[in-house]
């Protein structure tokens, strides 16, 4: 994946709301994962942004936003792609035929991980365990 100069605009961000891309930052960091590469799905990123705006005070929102912007300097956000959509649709259809329902956001996060060959680092494995072939890393 390539990025333009150090502005958010070359990243599909016409409003300039994303932090600038740092050419010296690794594409995938090792935050909280030891020697493993870390990334985040666009769906997981959306959940984190949603959490910022649910906070009751501006001070808490500011701290969470600062944390998320710093995190983005160290990890890549993987997009939801056509390949991911095929994987998610297949998993959901097959699991529902067995009477198993995977919550939608977790399904999309898991399908993203499977499509790029990553495990999912999670503190709540309950829903992700419903996705066949997905490797979980508990924390």
pLDDT of residue 59: 97
**Full-model pTM:** 0.72
What's domain 82-138's superfamily in CATH? 5'-nuclease (3.40.50.1010)
CA distances from 112 to 59, 66, 70, 106 (A): 32, 25, 22, 10
pLDDT over 70 percentage in the chain? 74
Tens of pLDDT along 58-108?
A: 999 999 999 999 999 989 999 999 999 999 999 999 999 999 999 999 999
Q: Report helix angle 42-53 to 58-72, nearest 10.
A: 160
> Where are the domains positioned within the chain?
82-138
């Amino acid at each position: 994946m390539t990025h333009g100069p150090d502005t958010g605009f070359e990243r599909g961000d016409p409003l300039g709301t994303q932090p600038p891309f740092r050419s010296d930052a690794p594409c995938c960091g090792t935050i909280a994962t030891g020697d493993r590469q870390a990334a985040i799905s666009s769906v997981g990123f959306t959940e984190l942004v949603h959490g910022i705006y649910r906070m009751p005070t501006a001070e808490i929102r500011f701290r969470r936003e600062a944390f998320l912007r710093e995190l983005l300097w160290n990890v890549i956000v993987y997009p939801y792609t056509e390949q991911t959509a095929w994987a998610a649709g297949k998993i959901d259809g097959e699991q529902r035929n067995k009477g198993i329902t995977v919550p939608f956001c977790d399904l999309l996060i898991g399908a993203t991980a499977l499509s790029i060959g990553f495990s999912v680092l999670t503190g709540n494995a309950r829903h992700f365990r419903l996705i066949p072939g997905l490797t979980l890393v508990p924390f």
